[in-house]
Amino acid sequence: MPRTKIVCTLGPASRHTFTLRTMIRAGMNVARINFSHGTHAEHRAIIHKLRRLSAEEENPIAILADLAGPKFRLGKVRPGEILREGKRVRIVSHSLIGTSDRLSLNRADLIPQLVKGHRLMIWDGKLQLEVVAPGKEEALCRIVVGGALKDNAGVNLPDTNLDIPSLTEKDLKDIAFGVKEGVDFFGLSFVRTKADVDLCRKEIAARQGSVPIIAKMEMREAVENLSEIIDAADGVMVARGDLGIEIPLERVPMVQKSMIAAANELGKPVITATEMLLSMVSSARPTRAEAGDVANAILDGTDAVMLSEETAMGRNPAAVIRTMVRIAEVTEEGMAQSGPRWVRRSDLRMHGLPHAIAHTAALLADELGAGIIICPTDSGDTPRRVALHRPRQKVLALSVSERTVRRLALSWGVIPWKIPRRLAPDRILGEFRKRIIEEKLAKPGDYAILTAGFPFGVKDAKGRLLQTEVL
């Protein structure tokens, strides 16, 4: 299996037990549940099914609960209505059946915030309006790019700094549900500033939760506030769909690279998402451009690549995963041939003993040609820090915490194992040597580097930062 992790969105094509099992066996590491669709009862059934299958397959699967966030949409429209370029259309705050002359928005509080010259991008940018006369209850717009209308089309406002809450009442209910069901990550949609992340964390804590937050970077303001958002969040998702509407499309590839690099600097997991193998919704093979897109995200340093419609609605979710696995494996082989991707510690915004230990472990493993790096861990921080340097060796994380094991399913290069009890570093290889060799993580006679810098609940580990043993 590749070291790059694979996130799969669940949907109508991937609800059944047989399909989910084949997806796990094909290489799914994280299951994304989109809270924009479905009921709590449906989500609960999927969560319980995933937990059962994960246990049966002895393969930790993390669950990413993706909060809907504030959605901006047109209301219903009369069938056959077409916007004509150069004409005018009024956007109003009250509900009505839309026509080519008058359309409604689902949120009345947006209308007063519209500014002359600002754009409204409708239906993923297929239609474009420009505000010519703003008002408190309606705004007159010029049609810049016309076309056919549809009910409930999404609306983006890329030029407008909106003053609206980042969490809706639905999101708060979904947070309470997710905390109760023990989801492993929350995806926070339409993040604009650090304050949005802080608010989400506060609401999680108010419901007795401590679930990590993946900030979805899909707004123009998020690009402008990139550093502070990554600082505040536990991980990020490069959500290229809305991002490609919020900023000029030609900027997206370089912004993607900047976001991945910024997350790498802080050792935060980063997911690259949207249309990675989209043609495989209906095709048995991806396009060459799609294969290159996946490979380039991996070369950029992403921890994970995400499938959306491909696994939610596609004709063969497991086949898509297997294709992504093959692309990732070949890309990683090329990376390994050029040596570890050493991240200079001076380039990282991380300092102190834990980071020095992780860096040294990766350096030592490379110098000795070690077969494996083993990291006992409670929180999961040490194996994540080691894997940041992209060592050739597999990084084996051993934890007594089921939650930590699942969360490490998102981190590049980390193989998480649940163990029944904490062990002194001297006893780890004796306990797991046979399994390590049987699972071909290393060979007999290979060096094993153990990060034993912290007691891991055992007193006799005190003062021992690293140790080397032979399998």
pLDDT of the residue at 459 = 43
The yes-or-no verdict on residue 427 having pLDDT over 90 is: no
pLDDT of the residue at 462 = 43
Mean per-residue pLDDT, 307-336: 96
- Mean confidence (pLDDT) of the chain: 92
Q: Where in the chain is the domain with CATH 3.40.1380.20?
A: 345-470
Secondary structure element (H or E) that encloses residue 82, with its range:
strand 82-83
Give the SS3 label for residue 401: coil
pLDDT of the residue at 453 = 46
Give the model's confidence band at 340: pLDDT under 50 very low, under 70 low, under 90 confident, else very high. low
Mean per-residue pLDDT, 142-158: 95
pLDDT of the residue at 428 = 82
Q: Where in the chain is the domain with CATH 3.20.20.60?
A: 5-69+165-336
The yes-or-no verdict on residue 456 having pLDDT over 90 is: no
The yes-or-no verdict on residue 457 having pLDDT over 60 is: no
Pairing of strands 119-122, 304-307: unpaired
Q: Say how far apart CA 136 and CA 113 lie, in whole Å.
A: 8
Contact indicator for 74, 152 with CB cutoff of 8 Å: yes
Structure tokens at 163: 């003053």
The yes-or-no verdict on residue 347 having pLDDT over 60 is: no
Domain 5-69+165-336 in CATH 3.40.50.300? The answer is no
The yes-or-no verdict on residue 178 having pLDDT over 70 is: yes
Q: Which CATH number applies to 82-156: 1.10.760.10, 3.30.300.30, 2.40.33.10, 2.60.40.10?
A: 2.40.33.10
For 431-468, give one letter per residue: b (16+ CB within 10 A) or e: ebbeebbeeebbeeebbbbbbbbbbbebeebeebebbe
Structure tokens at 188: 């926070």
Q: Say how far apart CA 105 and CA 98 lie, in whole Å.
A: 10
Q: What is the pLDDT of residues 251-285, one digit of tens each?
A: 999 999 999 999 998 889 999 999 999 999 999 99
Q: What is the pLDDT of residues 196-251, one digit of tens each?
A: 999 999 999 999 999 999 999 999 999 999 999 999 999 999 999 999 999 999 99
| DSSP per position, 379-430 | SSHHHHHHHTT--SSEEEEEES-HHHHHHGGGSTTEEEEE-SS---HHHHHH
| Burial of residue 141 (number of CB atoms within 10 Å: 0-12, 13-18, 19+) | buried
The CATH superfamily of 345-470 is: Pyruvate kinase, C-terminal domain (3.40.1380.20)
Give the SS3 label for residue 160: coil
Q: What is the pLDDT of residues 4-49, one digit of tens each?
A: 999 999 999 999 999 999 999 999 999 999 999 999 999 999 999 9
The yes-or-no verdict on residue 461 having pLDDT over 90 is: no
Contact indicator for 238, 271 with CB cutoff of 8 Å: yes
Q: Say how far apart CA 466 and CA 274 lie, in whole Å.
A: 40
Residues marked active site are found at 32, 73, 216, 274
Q: Dihedral of the CA atoms 351, 352, 355, 358 (nearest 10)?
A: 150
The yes-or-no verdict on residue 471 having pLDDT over 90 is: no
Q: What is the pLDDT of residues 432-450, one digit of tens each?
A: 889 999 999 999 999 999 9
pLDDT of the residue at 356 = 83
The strands making up 119-122's β-sheet, listed across from edge to edge, are 102-104, 88-92, 138-145, 127-133, 119-122, 155-156
The strands making up 372-376's β-sheet, listed across from edge to edge, are 414-418, 394-399, 372-376, 447-451, 466-470
Q: What is the pLDDT of residues 370-389, one digit of tens each?
A: 999 999 999 999 999 999 88
Give the model's confidence band at 421: pLDDT under 50 very low, under 70 low, under 90 confident, else very high. confident
Least confident of 65-74, 300-309, 450-459: 450-459
Give the model's confidence band at 460: pLDDT under 50 very low, under 70 low, under 90 confident, else very high. very low
Mean per-residue pLDDT, 179-185: 98
Strand partners, 451: 466
Q: Where in the chain is the domain with CATH 2.40.33.10?
A: 82-156
Q: What is the pLDDT of residues 58-109, one digit of tens each?
A: 999 999 999 999 989 999 999 999 999 999 999 998 899 999 999 999 988 9
Terminal Cα distance for the chain, rounded: 22
